[in-house]
Structure 1
Amino acid sequence: MDVIGQFPLFYFPDYGSAWMMGITGTIHILASHTSVGAAMLFAFLARKAYKENRTDYYPYMKKYGMFLLIFSYVIGSITGPGIWYTATAASPRGISALIHNFVWVWATEWVFFVYEVIGVFILVYFINKIDKKTHLQLTYTFALASVGTLALIIGIISFMMWPGTEAYYTTGSASDAFFGVNTFPHMFLRIGFMIMMSGVIGLLISSSMRKDNAELSYELSKKMGYISLFGGFVTLLSFIWYMGTLPQNAHAVFAFSKDAIIQNRIVLTVAFSLYFALAVFKPKMIHPAMATAMIFVILIGGLWSGEKLRESMRKPYVAGQYMYSNQIISRDVAGKGIKNELPIIAEKGLLALNPFVPKRLKVITTDNKLEAGKLLAKMACSNCHSLEKTGVFRPMKDRLVGMDKEGIKAILYTIGDGGMSYMPALKLPEAEYDAIAEYFASLKY
């Protein structure tokens, strides 16, 4: 019997499957980006403290380190496995593809990560307990391990967007997959944001020290303002560079909501710039409550919107521009022995080929058509869309409102054939088109 390598279906109502991973990932990214940015900041402050004999910097570094231990490494350690769990449920084939391509890259990243975790404990608890030069050298290795972790993960994440070279599909090589055209723009974009985040967190720590040492608090707040401005500038330039290295489908998605995205980025740039300028020129006005609020503004307005944009532009793919978000393989990858599944799906249909479809739904009949259509919609669409009337992320209701069965079927026919260039080409037998259309029509959006 012909089958394709599908897994049992995971569907989260109202939000869709993949967005659960996105929500968990955004929280994790805030924690992880803060830790990498802080590692670079620690190296900068430790060097300054050592060269200028500024021992008053060490209490600040210790407080910052304690914040990292509680915020970044506790929350990061919880949400990191959370990403694995949600990704494995929502996109098991996608995770399998990443592991098969990058198993040794990931193993190396874990070595760096373990060093990071050990390093932050050493940096915090050994301040004033070891000589300053040794402490400085440890901060350098901590920063290198953190940036190394970032660089390895970015290569993997960038592959999810696009290998960037046709050679990969022939060789299947990890290096051809890792060093894509958007890997380095993506890495510098992240580094810029991490530097900015280190300054934002630094402003919270420095403003909370005002009662103990007002003069030092103002000095460090001003420094954090400069650091944040620099990080924001790097982020903005890298974002422009990054956008120029994206595949055609990403630009098609970007164009779909281009005006709103640009407006959002302009508003955020102005808001962040004013806040950082305030820290530079009027550090006395930065209070812990304001600094805390700005962390949430950056989380929701900056990080969440940015991650949502990246996830949207990667669609309809989940890995390497050869695997759709719904786990279907759309092209050959000779170097990995991977075969395009679209021709056999067009011939025999998803229901017949998926080994986890119940026997009663393998063949569509008058009695089971609605149930089969619902299952097909979840299999084909739910990794990008929420299907219910109350759907939140990319809801089908926004696209099919007021349409009857024939109108919906006409849209299904055009997908991937120039009607919606950012959606995947997925040809199905007529009976499956009819079942999906009948199910969507029954919802009466």
Structure 2
Amino acid sequence: FIKKYGLFLLVFSYVLGSITVPGIWYSTTVASPRGISALIHSFVWKWATEWVFFVIEVVGVYMIIYLVGKVDRATHLRISIIFGIASYGTMLIIIGILSFMMWPGKPEWFTEGGYLNGFYGANTFAQLAMRTAFMFTMTAVVGGVVAGAIKDAAFKKEITRKLALLGMVSTVAGGLLLQWYMATLPESAQVIAENRLPEWFAMSLVVTLGGIFAWFAATWLQPRLLTPSIAMGMTVAVLVFGLWPEEVARESLRKPYVAGQYVYSNQVIARDVPGLGIASEIPLIERQGFLPSQVFVPDNLREVTAHNALEAGRSLALTTCSNCHSLSPTGMRPLANYFGGNSDVAMVKTYLQGALGTGNTIYMPHIPLNDDEAYALARFIVSLNAPASPQPVVRTAAAAAPIKE
């Protein structure tokens, strides 16, 4: 059982992980370069420490698999314990960084800096406890894939019941610790949880946890119900209906920030961080405008004119909106859907300057658009609702005529 479980762990977590993780790093760097930069610059030695633990993990999982029956049980147990400690160390570091993405551990981090101030906080330990519980839940779920293939009926019954007991206890513990985790979230996240998450979200968590508990209870009462195909289906179901919604919700709760409550999801620096020598970019945008202050905006779109307004609006939508909103009719939170098909450019412009320009919408970044930029963005948003409207193409040169509404 240990050898087969270790082999499943090796293939699923390490082989597939080594294939997908480079793609994840690449995509996150492209989508949120400043967010990734904030994490690396704040915790560079934590990342280095995590890699040390990871190397121990990789060596350890191979030793666990290939030393079964070749060393005595006590030695194999010691290897397994070292592997477990290294894996838990990796989780601790990653959770500390994930907690920082929600908000820094201590308020002093903003003024004094220091990775310990940013790393350790109430949210860190609450999230660690919750994920520890659900880690054992996943251990039991995945263990069922291996246990279901055991031929010896008595041994299968023993392993299945042990996994079921572990799963039931950890599922209940995880559900309780989730409440602790929610209580440690910043006020902005609490407001978003109450007002922006779907009404069915809380009930879906209860149903999911109840379904997982019921599965473990059923396999404890009737171990013969456990087969490899059913166990694999349950593993996929837990990943899709259990982990995925929680991760999506966590991403939503930290809006409008992507890291440390100072980097907006659209990569604008939102506040001063004296401890790191970082200054807010909001005053610069207020003075110069958004387009002139951005690095990757084409030169011919830095000033909005009558001829390039639609193109400039699309550029604004790409830089200010597309991290959270799809610019097409499909995808995550299509931008056009939030304006009810409104075709009044002036009305949309007024809304944008109220919602973005004042910073009073708790889940939206504070982006003080000037009149020309607000008009350009409003015009592009209205064009999304127009039937068969062509997407603007960036020109090589723009006319200099001023905008006239």
Shift in Å, 1:258? 5.1
| 1:129 matches 2:82 | no
- Over the aligned positions, Cα root-mean-square deviation in angstroms equals 1.3
Name 1:221's counterpart in structure 2: 160
2:331 counterpart of 1:392: yes
How many percent identity over aligned positions? 44
1:248 is displaced (CA, Å) by 2.0
Matching of residue 234 in structure 1 with residue 169 in structure 2? no
2:256–2:362 contact (8 Å) kept in structure 1: no
1:72 alignment counterpart = 13
Q: Deviations over 1:378-425 (max 9, x none)?
A: 100111111112x22122132112212223222212225476322122
Q: What runs of 5+ residues in structure 1 fail to find an aligned partner?
A: 1-59
State yes or no: 1:172 paired with 2:119. no
CA contact (8 A) 1:252 1:422 kept: no
Higher RCO, 1 vs 2 (CA within 8 Å, ≥6 residues apart): 1
**Equivalent residues, number:** 383
Residue matched to 2:33: 92
Q: CA deviation at 1:164?
A: 3.8
Shift of 1:266: 1.6
SS in 2 for 1:182: helix
1:274 and 2:214 matched:
yes
Deviations 1:244-263 (A, max 9, x none): 11112212221222521111
Cα 1:164/1:408, change in 2 over 3 Å: farther
Is the 2:359–2:366 contact (alpha carbons within 8 Å) kept by the matching residues of 1? no
- Supply the distance in 2 between the matched residues of 1:188 and 1:181 (Cα, whole angstroms): 11
Counterpart contact for 1:203–1:224, Cα < 8 Å:
yes
Whole-Å Cα distance in 1 between the matches of residues 22 and 379 of structure 2?
39
The match for 1:248 is 187
Unpaired segments ≥5 residues, structure 2: 387-405
The 5 A counterparts of 1:331-410 are 331-389=271-329, 391-403=330-342, 404-410=344-350
Structure 1 position 188 matched with structure 2 position 129: yes
Aligned-pair CA distance for 1:134? 1.1
Of the structure 1 ranges 224-233 and 418-427, higher mean CA displacement relative to structure 2 is found in: 418-427
SS for the counterpart of 2:116 is helix
Paired residues of 2:197 and 2:249 also in contact (CA < 8 A): no
Q: What residue number does 1:50 align with?
A: none
Q: Secondary structure at the match of 1:357?
A: coil
Equivalent pair of 1:115/1:142 in contact (CA under 8 Å): yes
2:303 match: secondary structure: coil
Q: Deviations over 1:176-209 (max 9, x none)?
A: 0101220011111111111100000111110111
Which amino acid in structure 2 is aligned with residue 369 of structure 1? A
The reply to whether residue 117 of structure 1 matches residue 58 of structure 2 is: yes
For 1:322 and 1:217, how far apart are their aligned partners in 2?
52
Which of residues 229, 232, 236 in structure 2 aligns to 1:292? 232
Name the residue aligned to 1:435.
376
Report the equivalent of 1:138: 79
In the alignment, does 2:243 pair up with 1:320?
no
Distance 1:156 1:215 in 2: 44
TM-score normalised over the length of structure 1: 0.84
Kept in 2: contact 1:373–1:435 (CA 8 A): yes
- CA distance in structure 1 between the aligned counterparts of 2:200 and 2:266, rounded to whole angstroms: 27
One-letter amino acid matched to 2:162: K
Give the conservation status (yes or no) of the 8 Å contact 2:262–2:269. yes
SS in 2 for 1:192: helix
